[in-house]
């Protein structure tokens, strides 16, 4: 300690933040990370009644999210850092001479430093009637609550129409929200196209068509001239500048935003010509005690940024400046954007309008596919910017090229054409283009890893450069670059499965089919090398299971399975397992539910409903699995194959049996399909669903095969996917009768199993398949390859030889032997697998927690979670 006890401690300086929006919160986070942050007392004065929330995702409140889901202020954050937050008490005046602020409630606070983060306000055109009941803006949780209330009233009263004034980014967001409430939706845009700031005329035209296909009516080059009101003073319609009147129950103004700079104006601080508090590159105003950040500020480059990323950069800049460690400062930001509006992908980057002298456009447009790409090429041959609508996959590559700003090394048309953009994209990147933004790894660094440091695989490059080890979103591009570079060095880049097999999975399948080989040893000895690995062993196990259908734990096959298949359960993070009994079609009797509940209760397991309409039981030790399954099998359940690359579930809606809208028995069909394909081993997991009408409540089009009822039969959709790369399934055949439907699915599945790569979902397989959907149709419906009979026979064999893996395991002492926690102490639970109670159930203990080992099950039934009894 250096201070003398006699000296009074220095009084802390007062830092006052005005506004607790996204940028305000980021400022607080950045500030608390600064050395010496504790020496200032921080007070936040906020206008809204709730702490900072994610305004960017405001529309998700219409998808069932709650305001709490959107909060950005972690619990305990304010208390931990001694920050005082006063909600609902905005600042009304600043006295710079006295260094005080006054709030609406009359409080006066002294400041040493003042940070203004008041954001922006929606611009409402000054048209008559704009304050009528039913007129809204789209900025806060309260705004959305009000919109929802009006919309619900209108929809309940029978229909209802909502109009959004403004066809920009926020306007289209709002239109999506109105549409989601069930309102007939119109968008009125003053400019001749939608999203005029970001996209050009061609992109705007395509965007408009895609949005109109969703049932939203778009009026461009039209201004709102007044709001028509009824005798009750509420909105009745919107008057347009061309004389038309659109009937409406509510109007949302979303025609841009204006910086909220009134506090600064009133205390004499300079503001820009179009608003925005003037700040320097460290976000200080002309008064060094006052800073401004985010949308209320005009940055050092003279621009007001309406995006959150530049606001965040300003927040961090201001925090550093206040801590006395000014860094490079904020001198402007890239406003490239990529987003999904009403389900349509839109991106723009660099200079999308080609404003620079001598700039030329390269265009590709395919109205059929709904894809539009425009690149702006500078006079020097460098990529300057562009617009992408409908397909934004190339955004990362193209944006990196545009920021690099050097002449292109490939003809620009290659970058916009569908095949060209993918093939030529990565290799066309300059070496200083950043591939992995998490760890800031450039393409040059990746190439050097291959050429100079001898990395021979993506794994080696990841290890060496850390590229792709953050969020992982660059992995696809990284793999392409590494493969290209390896090929360039002359290294052989095979399509082989792994170092042990030069063949692809599909080729191995053909070998097994033709030779009748039944063991991994025989296959690797005759057609491969070495001992195998965690890639080829499970793959071969899956092929053997698809073709010969013996029990997967029999003989040598047992040694090939991934841990999950080996124990017929799903490994969880602490080494325990979860168990999922099959619930075909999601239909379950009360007795079945009770049986599952009793098993979970007696073994003290954590229970959770899955997305596939089943029940997952967590926390089982390996040695508990047979006892758990003995109870489940006795109650009539069988393995749900949640652990396998196999059919998982066939989800269903309740269908015509109960539903007022259903036109077919979706539950019955789902059960029939699930029982038909259960246990079918495949290159990756398979999911399915059956919807009883076009409302599609079972989400069949996000499945590997999905069926939607029509009044004339069944529509079959294939190649859908959810997860990270969602894909809507394609219609393979329409209005099929039940028999044709099942035969078609049989062939589709067997053809996929036969030709797909390892871990290739049907969505990827279908996109890769030569000839695509037409070819698939020709194979499964018209037998173009002459293999239909063979595919049918393989499926028949699968169905005939199906047995429940768990019932068969329980009946065989040899197979049961593996379910021992320790070979020299079977029945002793793993002492490292411990649990703590949470919300009335168990969860794995974290390393710093003192958890309890789940005890071996006792034969007596004890009510209540067992752990509660044990808890200290």
Partner 1 sequence: MTVEIHDGTRWQPVCSLDDLQPGRGVAVLLPPADTQVALFLDRSGALYAVDNRDPFSGAHVLSRGLLGSRSGRPTLASPMYKQTFDLIDGRCLDEDTAPDGTPAVLRRWPVRAAAADCAAAADSPNPRNSRKEERA
Q: Which stretches of the chain bind partner 1, using CB under 8 A?
A: 459, 463, 499-500, 521, 530-534, 536-538, 556, 558-560, 562-564, 566-567, 571, 573-575, 622, 817-818, 820-825, 827-828, 830-833, 847, 856
Distance CA 585, CA 654 (A): 10
Burial of 545 (0-12, 13-18, 19+ CB in 10 A): buried
In this complex, which beta carbon is closest to partner 1, that of residue 558 or of residue 781? 558
Q: Are 188 and 174 in contact (CB under 8 A)?
A: no
Shortest distance, position 476 Cβ to partner 1, whole Å:
19
DSSP state at residue 557: G
Could you tell me the two tokens for 792? 């049918």
Half-sphere exposure of 542 (CA within 13 A, CB side): 31
CA atoms within 13 A on the CB side of 665: 9
Q: Whole-number minimum distance, CB 618 to partner 1, in Å?
A: 14
* Smallest separation, CB 588 to partner 1 (Å): 31
User: Cα separation of 856 and 626, whole Å?
Assistant: 12
Alpha-carbon span 23 to 125, nearest angstrom: 26
Do 388 and 345 touch, CB atoms closer than 8 A?
Answer: yes
Using the minimum distance from each CB to partner 1, give the nearer residue, 683 or 719: 683
Pick the closer one to partner 1 by CB: 696 or 830: 830
The DSSP letter of residue 501 is B
Name which of 70 and 622 has its Cβ closer to partner 1. Answer: 622
Min dist CB 260 to partner 1, Å, is: 44
As measured in angstroms, the least distance from the Cβ of 460 to partner 1 is: 9
Minimum Å distance from CB 813 to partner 1? 13
Q: Based on CB atoms, which residue is closest to partner 1, 306 or 528?
A: 528
For 212, the 3-state DSSP assignment is helix
Residue given tokens 């102490």 in the structure block: 825
Question: Which CB atom, from 243 or from 831, has the smaller least distance to partner 1?
Answer: 831
Nearer to partner 1, 337 or 563 (CB): 563
CB of residue 530 to partner 1, shortest distance in Å: 4
DSSP secondary structure code for residue 271 in this structure: B
CA separation for the pair 99, 672 (Å, rounded): 75
Tell me the sheet residues that pair with 510. none
Q: Where are the alpha helices (DSSP H) in 678-831?
A: 738-755, 762-768, 772-782, 788-801, 805-810, 813-816
CA distance 701 to 551: 32
CB closer to partner 1 out of 488 and 559 = 559
Measured from the CB atom, is 465 or 755 closer to partner 1?
465
Closer of 193 and 537 to partner 1 (Cβ): 537
Q: Note whether 645 and 682 are within 8 A (CB).
A: yes
In Å, how far are 359, 390, 443 from 368, measured between CA atoms? 28, 11, 35
CB 113 within 8 A of CB 99: no
In whole angstroms, give the CA distance from residue 440 to residue 433: 10
Contact (CB, 8 A) for 39 and 12:
yes
Q: What is the dihedral of CA 373, 378, 381, 385, to 10 degrees?
A: -40
Task: Kindly list the distances between the CA atom of residue 437 and the CA atoms of 408, 442, 470, 474, in Å, as whole numbers in the listed order.
Answer: 22, 8, 9, 8
- In whole angstroms, the minimum distance from the beta carbon of 70 to partner 1 comes to 30
Count CB atoms within 10 A of the CB of residue 430: 17
Distances (CA, A) of 297 to 21, 183, 278, 326: 14, 36, 6, 18
Q: How far is the CB of 556 from partner 1 (least distance, A)?
A: 7
Taking the least distance from each CB to partner 1, the nearer of 787 and 856 is 856
d(CA 373, CA 65): 34
* Minimum distance from residue 501 beta carbon to partner 1 (Å): 12
Taking every pair of Cα atoms in the chain, the longest distance, rounded to a whole number of angstroms, is: 98
The nearer residue to partner 1, 659 or 820, going by C-beta atoms, is: 820
- The CB-of-496 to partner 1 minimum distance in angstroms stands at 14
- Least distance from partner 1 to the Cβ atom of residue 536, Å: 8
First to last CA, the chain: 41
Report how far residue 24's alpha carbon sits from residue 373's, in angstroms, rounded to the nearest whole number. Answer: 37
**Cα 808 from chain centroid?**
39
Nearest approach in angstroms of CB 758 to partner 1 is 13
In the bound complex, what is the minimum distance in angstroms from residue 830's beta carbon to partner 1?
A: 6
CB of 44 to partner 1, least distance (A): 35
Calpha distance 225→244 (Å, rounded): 10
Comparing CB distances to partner 1, the nearer of 569 and 749 is 569
DSSP code per residue over 429-451 = S-TTSEEETTTTEEHHHHHHHHH
The residue (of 301 and 814) whose beta carbon lies closer to partner 1 is: 814
Q: How far is the CB of 316 from partner 1 (least distance, A)?
A: 27
Number of other CB atoms surrounding residue 820 within 10 Å: 14
* Cα(497)–Cα(534) distance, integer angstroms: 11
What number of other Cβ atoms are within 10 A of residue 706's Cβ? 27
39 contacts: CB under 8 Å, gap ≥ 6: 10, 12, 13
Residue 458: CB minimum distance to partner 1, A: 11
Residue 533 or 807 having the CB closest to partner 1: 533
Residue 731 or 820 having the CB closest to partner 1? 820
CB of 100 or CB of 521, closer to partner 1: 521
Using CA atoms, how far apart are residues 724 and 473, in angstroms rounded to an integer? 10
């Amino acid at each position: 300690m250096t201070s003398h006890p006699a000296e009074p401690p220095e009084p802390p300086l007062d830092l006052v933040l005005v506004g607790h929006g996204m940028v305000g919160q980021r400022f607080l986070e950045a500030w608390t990370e600064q050395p010496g942050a504790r020496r200032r007392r921080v007070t936040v004065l906020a206008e809204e009644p709730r702490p900072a929330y994610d305004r960017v995702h405001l529309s998700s409140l219409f998808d069932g999210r709650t305001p709490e889901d959107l909060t950005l202020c972690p619990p305990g954050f304010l208390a931990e850092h001694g920050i005082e937050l006063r909600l609902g008490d905005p600042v009304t005046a600043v006295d710079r001479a006295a260094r005080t602020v006054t709030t609406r409630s009359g409080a006066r606070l002294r400041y040493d430093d003042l940070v203004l983060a008041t954001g922006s306000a929606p611009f409402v055109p000054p048209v008559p009637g704009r304050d009528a009941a039913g007129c809204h803006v789209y900025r806060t949780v309260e705004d959305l609550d009000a919109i929802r209330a009006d919309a619900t009233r209108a929809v309940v009263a029978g229909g209802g129409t909502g109009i959004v004034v403004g066809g920009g980014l926020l306007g289209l967001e709002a239109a999506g929200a109105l549409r989601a409430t069930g309102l007939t939706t119109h968008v009125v845009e003053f400019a001749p196209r939608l999203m005029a700031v970001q996209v050009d005329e061609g992109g705007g035209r395509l965007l408009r068509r895609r949005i109109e296909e969703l049932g939203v009516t778009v009026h461009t080059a039209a201004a709102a001239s007044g709001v028509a009101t009824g005798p009750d003073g509420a909105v009745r319609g919107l008057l347009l500048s061309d004389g038309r009147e659109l009937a409406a129950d509510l109007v949302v103004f979303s025609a841009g935003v204006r910086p909220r700079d009134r506090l600064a104006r009133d205390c004499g601080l300079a503001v820009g010509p179009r608003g925005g508090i003037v700040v320097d590159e460290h976000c200080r105003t002309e008064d060094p005690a006052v800073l401004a950040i985010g949308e209320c500020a005009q940055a050092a480059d003279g621009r007001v940024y309406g995006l959150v990323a530049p606001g965040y950069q300003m927040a961090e800049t201001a925090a550093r400046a206040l801590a006395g460690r000014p860094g490079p400062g904020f001198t402007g930001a890239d406003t490239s954007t990529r987003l999904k509006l009403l389900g349509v992908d839109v991106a723009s980057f660099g200079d999308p309008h080609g404003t620079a002298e001598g700039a030329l456009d390269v265009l590709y447009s395919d109205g059929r596919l709904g894809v539009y790409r425009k690149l702006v090429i500078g006079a020097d041959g460098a990529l300057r910017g562009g617009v992408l609508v409908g397909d934004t996959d190339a955004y990362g590559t193209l944006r990196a090229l545009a920021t690099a700003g050097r002449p292109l090394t490939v003809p620009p048309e290659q970058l916009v054409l569908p095949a060209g953009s993918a093939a030529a994209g990565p290799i066309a990147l300059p070496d200083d283009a950043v591939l992995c933004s998490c760890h800031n790894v450039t393409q040059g660094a990746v190439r050097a890893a291959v050429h100079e440091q001898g990395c021979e695989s993506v794994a080696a490059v990841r290890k060496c450069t850390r590229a792709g080890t953050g969020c992982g979103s660059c992995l696809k591009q990284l793999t392409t670059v590494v493969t290209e570079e390896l090929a360039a060095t002359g290294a052989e880049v095979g399509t082989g499965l792994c170092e042990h097999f030069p063949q692809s999975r599909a080729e191995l399948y053909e070998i097994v089919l033709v030779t009748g080989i039944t063991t991994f040893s025989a296959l690797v000895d005759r057609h491969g090398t070495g001992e195998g690995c965690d890639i080829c062993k499970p793959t071969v196990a899956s092929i053997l299971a698809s073709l010969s259908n013996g029990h997967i734990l029999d003989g040598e096959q047992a040694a090939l399975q991934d841990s999950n298949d080996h124990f017929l359960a799903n490994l969880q993070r602490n080494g325990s397992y979860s168990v999922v009994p099959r619930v075909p079609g999601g239909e379950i009797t009360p007795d079945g539910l009770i049986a599952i509940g009793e098993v979970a209760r007696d073994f003290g397991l954590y229970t959770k409903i899955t997305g596939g309409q089943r029940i997952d039981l967590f926390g089982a030790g390996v040695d508990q699995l047979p006892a758990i399954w003995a109870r489940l099998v006795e109650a009539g359940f069988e393995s749900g194959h949640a652990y396998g690359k196999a059919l998982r579930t066939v989800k269903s809606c309740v269908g015509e049996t109960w539903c007022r809208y259903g036109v077919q028995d979706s539950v019955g069909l789902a059960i029939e399909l699930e029982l038909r394909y259960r246990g079918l081993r495949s290159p990756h997991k398979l999911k399915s669903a059956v919807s009883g009408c076009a409302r599609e409540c079972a989400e069949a089009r996000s499945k590997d095969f999905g069926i939607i009822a029509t009044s004339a039969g069944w529509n079959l959709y294939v190649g859908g996917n959810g997860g990270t790369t969602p894909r809507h399934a394609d219609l393979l055949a329409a209005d099929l009768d039940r028999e044709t439907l099942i035969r078609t699915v049989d062939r589709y599945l067997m053809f996929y199993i036969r030709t797909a790569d390892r871990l290739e979902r049907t969505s990827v397989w279908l996109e890769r398949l030569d000839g695509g959907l037409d070819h698939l149709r020709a194979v499964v419906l018209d037998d173009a390859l002459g293999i239909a009979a063979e595919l049918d026979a393989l499926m028949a064999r699968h169905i005939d030889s199906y047995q429940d893996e768990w019932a068969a395991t329980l009946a065989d002492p040899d197979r049961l032997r593996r379910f021992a926690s320790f070979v020299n102490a079977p029945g002793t639970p793993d002492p490292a697998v411990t649990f703590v109670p949470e919300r009335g159930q168990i969860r794995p203990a974290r390393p710093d927690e003192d958890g309890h080992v789940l005890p071996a099950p006792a034969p007596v039934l004890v009510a209540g979670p067992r752990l509660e009894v044990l808890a200290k």
